[in-house]
Amino acid sequence: MTTTNSINSNSQFETNIENSLLNKYGMNILNTPFVSDDDIQLGLGERYIIVEKLLEAHEFAKINVLAGNITGRGFATNVCTVDRAWSMGTNFNNTRNDISSICGERSAILASYNEALLRYSRRPRGKFDFKIKYLCMASNIDLEEITEMIAPCEDCLSWLNTNRYFNFNTLVFSFERIKGEFVVRASRLASFLPYKTYATSNEFDFNKEIRFSKNSQVSFVKFKLEPKDALNLLFEAYKKYDKNEFVGVSNQNIAAAIISNDEIYSSCKIDWTKRWHVEPLEEAASRAIEKFGKETQIKAIAYFGDEASANNGEIYNDGVVSIKSLGRIRQKYATNDTLLILNFHNYILITTIGEYLPKKFEQGYKIS
Ligand SMILES: [Zn+2]
């Protein structure tokens, strides 16, 4: 295994290359392009380490499948912290349903956190500062067969859309093939989460400025809706939010309203315990699905949640839309064209699911 320090001298670099995974796979770092839509600068030594770590994760994902992982699919992630410690994790599935499944990247983050805490416990000086610098994601698919990049799923994105352990410098890497060429795709985590910095508001105002995204106009025409319908839907969500008496455990309140077919369904968050709750979007969507069955067409979603708060430089966006639920209903009943109405400070944003969660983050979606 290569570490940062070991590539400082040329002779050691050459020895490492000889024993490297790149060498094993007949790859040369000079012929392995890094591509990105973001502005990312990486030196040769750094790119070498990243490819090694991607290959290591690829082998780990393969082993996971060979060892009999229940889903028959293998993913693994190599995580690097800002203080240059690497940890690896693979998808963990102990039954076939999602409650007992954890993806490779979350598994790696947990491994990394536990190892960092263990290091800290041996030398507890200063503040424990755990931040993720890189996520190197790979699957068990043979390198020759790889086409699309691997992107975090919406469950993982809902983890990553937080500020404590990730920041705007966190980078995500994956192999990809573009027009026959095998490349490494580099992305800034922040570009996966375009509205990460937007602060939600808990005040409803019909006279607030409305901002329309590029694609929202097309969706209004497609679904035969008007901006006033969007505003009314947000008001329905607000009413549920305002009257919600079921969040006395977490004290984190959210409500959602949807237009499905031609009816409005709204729901508020219901707490079971401090961490476990009924998610209002999924609840509202379920009621529509029960009524309209396969004909269910979710045209618009409005979210209304708590005010964003800050503490010691960390932002808590407790009232933000659930990426996890959006990802789920986008698979069926809603589409990327579905309107999404969000209540921020000073303005209301009318966008679409596809713009909020860009297509490239759908699993298996090819980047255009
Ligand atoms: Zn995931």
Helices and strands (H, E) in the chain, number of each type? 11, 18
Q: How confident is the model at residue 12 (pLDDT cuts 50, 70, 90)?
A: low
pLDDT surpassing 60 at residue 360: no
Mean pLDDT of 89-100: 80
Residue among 309, 296, 298, 311 nearest 345 (CA): 309
Q: How confident is the model at residue 359 (pLDDT cuts 50, 70, 90)?
A: low
The 10 Å Cβ neighbour count of residue 327 is 20
pLDDT of residue 358: 65
Alpha carbon of 286 to ligand 1 centroid (Å): 23
**Choice among 49-53, 172-176, 246-250 with the minimum mean pLDDT:** 246-250
The rounded percent of the chain whose pLDDT value lies above 70 is: 90
Listed ranges 87-101, 152-166, 320-334; the one with the highest mean pLDDT: 320-334
Alpha carbon of 193 to ligand 1 centroid (Å): 14
Q: How confident is the model at residue 4 (pLDDT cuts 50, 70, 90)?
A: very low
Residue tagged 């600068």 (tokens)? 41
pLDDT of residue 233: 98
pLDDT of residue 312: 76
Alpha carbon of 151 to ligand 1 centroid (Å): 8
d(CA 215, CA 160): 25
Alpha carbon of 90 to ligand 1 centroid (Å): 11
Every domain of the chain and the residues it spans: 5-192, 209-361
Alpha carbon of 91 to ligand 1 centroid (Å): 9
Better pLDDT: 63 or 100: 63
d(CA 340, CA 252): 21
d(CA 90, CA 65): 10
**Choice among 113-117, 191-195, 249-253, 332-336 with the minimum mean pLDDT:** 191-195
Rounded to the nearest angstrom, the gap between the alpha carbon of residue 365 and the centroid of all alpha carbons in its chain is 14
Rounded to the nearest angstrom, the gap between the alpha carbon of residue 276 and the centroid of all alpha carbons in its chain is 20
Alpha carbon of 106 to ligand 1 centroid (Å): 7
Kindly report each contact of residues 57-62 with a partner whose C-beta sits within 8 Å and lies 24 or more positions away, as own/partner. Answer: 57/88, 57/104, 57/136, 57/137, 57/138, 58/138, 58/139, 58/140, 58/143, 58/175, 59/21, 60/88, 60/90, 60/138, 61/90, 61/91, 61/104, 61/138, 61/139, 61/140, 62/140
The string of pLDDT tens digits covering residues 332-348 is: 999 999 999 999 988 99
Alpha carbon of 104 to ligand 1 centroid (Å): 7
Alpha carbon of 159 to ligand 1 centroid (Å): 9
**Residues 75/104, Cβ–Cβ less than 8 Å:** yes
The string of pLDDT tens digits covering residues 177-186 is: 999 999 999 9
pLDDT surpassing 90 at residue 365: no
Alpha carbon of 152 to ligand 1 centroid (Å): 5
Q: List the CATH code of the domain at 209-361.
A: 3.40.140.10
pLDDT of residue 309: 83
pLDDT surpassing 60 at residue 62: yes
pLDDT of residue 3: 33
pLDDT surpassing 90 at residue 301: yes
d(CA 255, CA 304): 5
Alpha carbon of 132 to ligand 1 centroid (Å): 16
Look over the chain and give the mean of its residue pLDDT values, rounded to a whole number.
88
From residue 45, how far is each of 7, 42, 239 by CA, in Å? 7, 8, 56
Q: Any idea which fold 5-192 has?
A: Cytidine Deaminase; domain 2 (3.40.140)
Residue tagged 């369904």 (tokens)? 265
pLDDT of residue 168: 79
Alpha carbon of 281 to ligand 1 centroid (Å): 20
Amino acid sitting at position 99: I
Residue among 31, 22, 315 nearest 167 (CA): 315
Alpha carbon of 203 to ligand 1 centroid (Å): 33
Alpha carbon of 8 to ligand 1 centroid (Å): 35
**Residues 79/172, Cβ–Cβ less than 8 Å:** no
The string of pLDDT tens digits covering residues 192-246 is: 776 666 788 999 999 999 999 999 999 999 999 999 999 999 999 999 999 999 9
Topology agreement, domain 5-192 and domain 209-361? yes
Alpha carbon of 9 to ligand 1 centroid (Å): 38
Q: Ligand 1 (ion): which residues have CB within 5 A? A: 103, 153, 155-156
The rounded percent of the chain whose pLDDT value lies above 90 is: 67
Between helices 323-331 and 280-292, what is the axis angle to 10°?
20
Mean pLDDT of 141-156: 91
Alpha carbon of 363 to ligand 1 centroid (Å): 9
d(CA 213, CA 191): 17
Alpha carbon of 135 to ligand 1 centroid (Å): 12
pLDDT of residue 322: 86
Mean pLDDT of 301-318: 84
**Residues 223/300, Cβ–Cβ less than 8 Å:** yes
Alpha carbon of 221 to ligand 1 centroid (Å): 34
Alpha carbon of 154 to ligand 1 centroid (Å): 6
Alpha carbon of 131 to ligand 1 centroid (Å): 19
Better pLDDT: 135 or 70: 135
Alpha carbon of 32 to ligand 1 centroid (Å): 26
